[in-house]
Chains A and B, each alone.
Chain A
């Protein structure tokens, strides 16, 4: 038995969650650009926001990331992927929020050496699958610095005064570890895992946090964006599936 040629545009029988949301510019992704640090803002004891001027930045969508490169005097260089924290409507500028990772080669430099005027290199924006153009109702679920790309979506939603529903569930160890705490509004429900203000329960994100959000499904349903450590992403995505969120409407960005 010989089967005939497969049809063009092969698609497996199983639906996949994440067709890309946008076309990605191969040109922007290939080009290293100088990014000049203009401002450092402390967010929590462990995290700070770094604002850069990148005059020829091609623009990005909320949820996208970039590659950042540091180079030593002997020519040694190292690079990391980071999510973009700022909303798109900030021409020529981008912001990153970085945790100080213990022994972190790049985050260590940022947290102990970097000051305004310093130059690093970036290329991007990269990848279209975690991008949110502001079209579909968005259910954002993050933990720790996993809130960073989600905050870009929240900021975009506010800046454009979008009417499409958006909710965010964000987990932090305690109020002092909640990144962007001052900026969070009625769209956000924080979950505290170690310590919480008087009267607020302490505990891991659970079905009880997710169920009310899935009970108020907007027309067309939520597009869920999950971001955090692998352990958190596994846990949160399982909660979403158990609460009835379709597997093919869950996009996951894991750190690593």
Chain B
């Protein structure tokens, strides 16, 4: 252990919800997108699931909202080391979309992509079983555009770069294919509890 002379740090709070190397951002919700925030309205928004599925499909705003509503209340963790507790998102569970398109048995991974062209890769297992959402409401309000509105992917058990803003679609694949940050040195999976920040971690 390399102790830094004279460094005491902030008050120690025992928080079992805080993954290693993270700090509590409190009320802050930093925005870290690498691209220009798009001018995207609900009328422009569509969401497609295709690739290794039986029945590829595109939903528009109204069609997506006709699916059963689902909420996430819990924590989110950013690779830059902030975590945010007790956030409330509302939208539709990704399972509802996947149930309609019926993934093929050979599908093991997915690339999520944004209306901006941003991409991120995920194992399919991280997108199923009630652990991933298409979210359009934050804290009872429409999701702000700088946070990915009108709708973003939400995969809160992984670092937040996996939760693609301005989600446009998910393509199911039979192999892992690195997305934007993953091609720029970040970890293929990004589990905050194992501190999988960079590709060598």
Contacts and interface: CB of A to CB of B under 8 A. Distances in A.
B93 interface: no
Interface string B108-140: 000101111111000000000000000000000
A91 to B, nearest CB: 22
Interface in A222-256: 230, 234, 237-238, 240-241, 247-248, 250-256
Contact of B4 (A29, A31, A118): A118
B37 A237 contact: yes
Interface stretch (B7-15, B69-77, B151-159): B7-15
A71 B7 contact: yes
A43 B32 CA distance: 26
A20 B2 contact: no
A253 B164 CA distance: 17
Contact of B177 (A9, A70, A252): A9
A76 B12 contact: yes
Contacts of B80: 80-81, 256
B6 A29 contact: no
Interface in A133-152: none
Contacts of B119: 10, 12, 16
A27 interface: yes
B30 A6 contact: no
Contacts of B30: 230, 254-256
A238 B145 CA distance: 14
B31 A70 contact: no
Interface residues of A, number: 65
A247 B186 CA distance: 23
B183 interface: yes
A12 B81 contact: no
B147 to A, nearest CB: 10
Contacts of A126: 185, 198
Interface residues of B, number: 59
B198 A12 contact: no
A80 B4 contact: no
Contact of A30 (B8, B10, B81, B200): B200
Contact of A76 (B9, B56, B81, B118): B9
Interface in B144-200: 146, 168-169, 171, 173-174, 177, 180-181, 183-186, 197-200
B111 A73 contact: no
A12 B169 contact: yes
B82 interface: yes
A10 B182 CA distance: 14
Contacts of A31: 200
Interface string B56-87: 10000000000000000000001011100000
Contacts of B1: 71, 75
Contacts of A130: 34
A82 to B, nearest CB: 11
Contact of B185 (A127, A237, A250): A127
B174 A5 contact: yes
Given A15-B117, A118-B4, A127-B184, A27 B200 contact: yes
Interface in A61-118: 67, 70-81, 105, 109, 113-114, 118
A247 to B, nearest CB: 5
A128 interface: yes
Contacts of A105: 9-10, 23
A163 interface: no
Given A6-B50, A119-B5, 6 more contacts: A3-B53, A14-B113, A76-B9, A78-B10, A252-B36, A254-B33
Interface of A: 1-3, 5-6, 8-10, 12, 14-20, 24-27, 29-31, 34, 67, 70-81, 105, 109, 113-114, 118-121, 126-130, 230, 234, 237-238, 240-241, 247-248, 250-256
29 contacts: A3-B53, A5-B174, A8-B177, A10-B111, A10-B171, A12-B169, A16-B117, A16-B118, A17-B116, A20-B185, A24-B184, A24-B199, A25-B185, A26-B200, A70-B4, A70-B9, A71-B2, A105-B10, A109-B7, A113-B6, A113-B7, A118-B4, A119-B4, A126-B198, A128-B184, A247-B35, A254-B32, A255-B30, A256-B28
